[in-house]
Amino acid sequence: NAGVTQTPKFQVLKTGQSMTLQCAQDMNHNSMYWYRQDPGMGLRLIYYSASEGTTDKGEVPNGYNVSRLNKREFSLRLESAAPSQTSVYFCASRMDRGPRSPLHFGNGTRLTVT
Amino acid sequence: AQKITQTQPGMFVQEKEAVTLDCTYDTSDQSYGLFWYKQPSSGEMIFLIYQGSYDEQNATEGRYSLNFQKARKSANLVISASQLGDSAMYFCAMRGRVSNDYKLSFGAGTTVTVRA
C-alpha cells in the first residue's frame, strides 16, 4: 500500500520562485495536514483540511497556500519562496475524528531556498 | 495553548538496556491524548503508541510503554530491550482541538543512539 505519497522528495529554489508540493493519500482518509520540520523545533502545523472542500490555518501559515483538490489530494504552494522556508515538509492524513486515530505521514519533501 | 517539552536533546543507550524518554505537557483541556512517533534517519514518521487522558491503564505496545503521570503532566516513553534499529529521533505530540478537527502539537524531539 502506498499510504501518503509526497512529491518531489527534494527541491532547491531561488528566493522569489514559486512551487507546489504535492500530496496524495490512498487510504480514503478525511483529514489531511501539512507540517514543516525544523531543527530543534519539532513539527509545526502549516495548514490542515478536515474534509474535502475545507481548509484552515495552523500555527505557521504565512507564506503558504493550500488546495484540497479532492479527497485524495492536498497541495501546498509557496508563491514567493524565502530562505526562511527552507525546511522539511511533511504531509499527513487521518482517517476519522476519533481521538485515538493517529496521523499517517508521507516521507517528506526537503526544500532548500537560496 | 498547548505546549510539549522534551528536555533531552540526545541520549545514548547500550543495546538490550531500557531507555526512558521524557515528555511533559501543558494543557487546560480535561480530555486530551498523547502520541509518540519515531523518525529514523531515513526520515519517515512512524506512529508508536497512544495514551488518552482518561485511559485507566498506561499504554503498552510491544517493547514500547508509556509512563503516564497525569498529575505531573508527564508521558514518558519507555523502550525496553533496546535494539540497534531503535536509533532514531523520537517525538512526543499532544492532540488538541481546532474548530472542526484536531491537530497534533509536537515537542522538539529526542535523538536516541543505541550502542552495540
pLDDT one digit per residue (tens) for chain B, 116 residues: 678 999 999 999 999 999 999 999 998 888 889 999 999 999 999 999 999 999 989 999 999 999 999 999 999 999 999 999 999 999 999 987 665 567 889 999 999 999 99
Q: What are phi and psi of A85, to 5 degrees?
A: -95, 5
The pLDDT score that the predictor gives to residue B98 is 60
pLDDT tens for A30-88 read 999 999 999 888 999 999 998 888 999 999 999 999 999 899 999 999 999 999 999 99
User: Which chain B positions have a beta carbon within 8 Å of A35's beta carbon?
Assistant: 106
The pLDDT score that the predictor gives to residue B13 is 97
Give the number of other Cβ atoms within 10 Å of residue B87's Cβ. 17
How far apart CA B7 and CA B5 sit, in angstroms, is 6
Beta-carbon separation of A45 and B104 below 8 A: yes
The pLDDT score that the predictor gives to residue B96 is 75
Q: CB–CB of A76/A61 below 8 Å?
A: no
The pLDDT score that the predictor gives to residue A8 is 97
The pLDDT score that the predictor gives to residue B63 is 98
Q: CB–CB of B114/B87 below 8 Å?
A: yes
Burial class (CB in 10 A: 0-12, 13-18, 19+), B22: middle
User: Which chain B positions have a beta carbon within 8 Å of A44's beta carbon?
Assistant: 106
Beta-carbon separation of A107 and B102 below 8 A: no
Considering only CA atoms, which of A58, A48, A54 is closest in space to residue A23? A48
How far apart CA B3 and CA B23 sit, in angstroms, is 10
Beta-carbon separation of A42 and B33 below 8 A: no
User: Which chain A positions have a beta carbon within 8 Å of B104's beta carbon?
Assistant: 43, 45, 103
* Local confidence band at A96 (pLDDT 50, 70, 90 cut-offs): confident
Beta-carbon separation of B108 and A41 below 8 A: yes
A58/chain B closest Cα distance in angstroms:
8
B6/chain A closest Cα distance in angstroms:
10
Instruction: Give the number of A-B residue pairs with CB atoms closer than 8 Å.
Output: 63
The pLDDT score that the predictor gives to residue B100 is 57
Q: Is the pLDDT of residue A99 over 90?
A: no
Q: Is the pLDDT of residue A1 over 70?
A: no
Of B4, B35, B101, the CB nearest to A102: B35
Sign, CA dihedral A33-A29-A112-B10, equals: positive
How far apart CA A49 and CA A57 sit, in angstroms, is 9
